Amino acid sequence: MDNKDLNQEISESAPDPVDRLLQENKPASSGKAIAILALLISVAATAATGWQWWQTYQGNPEAAKQSESLARLQTTQQQLGQTVASFEAQLQSNAAPVSAAEFSELARRLEQSRGTLEQLQGQAGEDQATINALQGSVRSLEQRLSTNESGLLNVAASTQNSSVELDIAEVDYLLRVANERLQLFADPVAADLALQAADMQIEAMDDPMFLSVRQRIASARQTLAAVPRVDRVQLSASISDMQSQLPGLQFRGEEAVQEAPLLADDAGWWESFKYTLSSLVTVRRRAPEDESMLSLDDKDYLRQGLWLQLESARLALMRNDSSAYADSLDRLRGTVEQFFHTGSAAVQTLLLETTKLQQVDIAPAMPDISAPWTQFRQLRDSRRLLQSTQPVASEDTVE
């Protein structure tokens, strides 16, 4: 609201008392002058009419003209009378003129009204300045509110993005572990479990962007299912069982040791004494051609060598070293066939177990399952690039 509108409202709401008083008490001097002027004009017209009639009467004494002039004179007199009566009524209706004291009072009140008007105008200016200041404060608060809302949206978006980033990091870790377990440790079972966990995590994310990764994971798991499984625990148990059989192997030229019969419950003291001596002393016979072949120490060394060769095969199994594994089993077979009696049941059993171990491929060719991990990293990098290039709405600065 400006000063012009304020003045218009003041003028419409409160009429000036001075103007009202001037309208009520108009001076009668102007009305009296008009009435006197009109009276003089009427008298002059009457005199002119009488003079004209007199001249007519002197020049033309005819009775018809005289009567006509007399009629006009009477009519003129009637009109003058009516005019004079109307002027008198107008003069009587006019009020008395305003005095000097009343004019002074009216001037004082006019000055007072002007002062009040100026005061109201000044107050209106102050109110307008206050309104402008309040409007500026409101705009500032609106801008701050908009800034806070933007900050809250950014916090919510960053929180949501943090949760998504954690899920993405977990999937990346599982895919990397699957590759490491297969390539470094040749463990397709653990690699398949890691791929299965990664597939479940991607399914929980419910993001169609990573659908191609799930397809590659399914293909990689099918490839792993075709890889031969190596039961290293069972193979290690078989090696331990073969090591326990080594003390009972029969060397070449030795007769098989016959186990002593069990002592009967009703045996006498002599049979009991012989049974006790037979359990303490073992007598082995040699063939005449093999008497000077191996000593007891040599036999002990051979059994220890067989045990070490089996242990070497176990370590090669743990390291997935197929070459060392095969070499250890070959040396074991050669030693047994050279120094031990191959016709005995214990040696035959040991050789059969050795053949089974040699037929196992402890290091089958492992497939390449890095395709899901590579695809996932490409999609992850593309997602981050898209998020970093999104336009950010510019915020108005508060002045």
Task: Evaluate if residue 253 carries a pLDDT over 50.
Answer: yes
Judged by average pLDDT, the poorest of 71-75, 204-208, 370-374 is: 71-75
Final residue in a domain of this structure, among 134, 169, 199 = 134
User: Is 399 part of a structural domain of the chain?
Assistant: no
What residues make up the domain containing 202?
Answer: 156-227+369-388
Mapped onto helix, strand or coil, the DSSP state of residue 97 is coil
Ranges 32-36, 98-102, 180-184, most confident: 180-184
**Cα(271)–Cα(318) distance, rounded to whole angstroms?**
52
Residue 134 CA to residue 130 CA, distance in Å, equals 6
- The answer to the question of residue 14 being in a domain is yes
pLDDT band for position 392 (cuts 50, 70, 90): very low
- Same domain? For 195 and 242 the reply is no
Contacts of 376 (CB under 8 A, 6+ apart): 171, 172, 175, 210, 213
**Residue 88 lies inside a defined structural domain of this protein:** yes
Asked if residue 179 and residue 120 are part of one domain, the reply reads no
Residue 237 located in a structural domain: yes
Calpha distance 179→174 (Å, rounded)? 9
The tally of domains found in the chain comes to 3
Take residue 254 and report the two structure tokens written for it: 């030795």
> What's the pLDDT tens digit per position in 282-341?
555 544 444 446 777 788 888 898 999 999 999 998 888 889 999 999 999 998 888 888
Whether 91 has a pLDDT exceeding 70, the answer reads no
In the chain, the percentage of residues whose pLDDT exceeds 90 is: 19
For residues 19 and 26, what is the distance between their CA atoms, to the nearest angstrom? 11
Same domain, 217 and 329: no
Is 309 buried (19+), middle (13-18) or exposed (0-12) by CB count in 10 A? Answer: buried
- Statement to judge: residues 121 and 8 lie in one domain: yes
Query: Both 251 and 221 in a single domain?
Result: no
In this structure, is residue 364 part of a structural domain? no
d(CA 164, CA 385): 15
Q: Are residues 345 and 242 in the same domain?
A: yes
Does any domain span residue 189?
Answer: yes
Query: Where is pLDDT greater, at 282 or 269?
Result: 269
What are the φ and ψ backbone dihedral angles of 341, each rounded to 5 degrees?
Answer: -80, 105
CATH code (residue 162): 1.20.120
Residues 164, 243 within the same domain: no
- Alpha-carbon Rg for the chain, nearest whole angstrom, is 69
86, 101, 134: which is the final residue of a domain? Answer: 134
Paired with 251 in beta bridges are 340
Q: Please, what's the b/e burial string for 190-211 (b: 16 or more CB within 10 A of its CB; e: otherwise)?
A: ebbebbebbbebbeeeeeeebe
User: Are 237 and 303 within one domain?
Assistant: yes
Is the domain of 221 the same as that of 239? no
Residue 265 inside a domain? The answer is no
**Burial class of residue 351 (count of CB atoms within 10 Å of its CB; 0-12, 13-18, 19+):** middle
Between 76 and 374, name the one with better pLDDT: 374
CA 71 to chain centre: 114
Q: Tell me the C-alpha to C-alpha distance, in Å, between residue 133 and each of 1, 5, 138, 318.
A: 14, 20, 9, 83
Instruction: Judge if 248 and 332 occupy the same domain.
Output: yes
Residues forming beta bridges with residue 340, ordered by sequence position: 251
Do 208 and 300 sit in the same domain of this protein? Answer: no
Q: Is 190 within the bounds of a domain?
A: yes
Q: Helix, strand, coil: what percent of the chain each, to 5?
A: 75, 0, 20
Residues 45 and 119 in one domain: yes
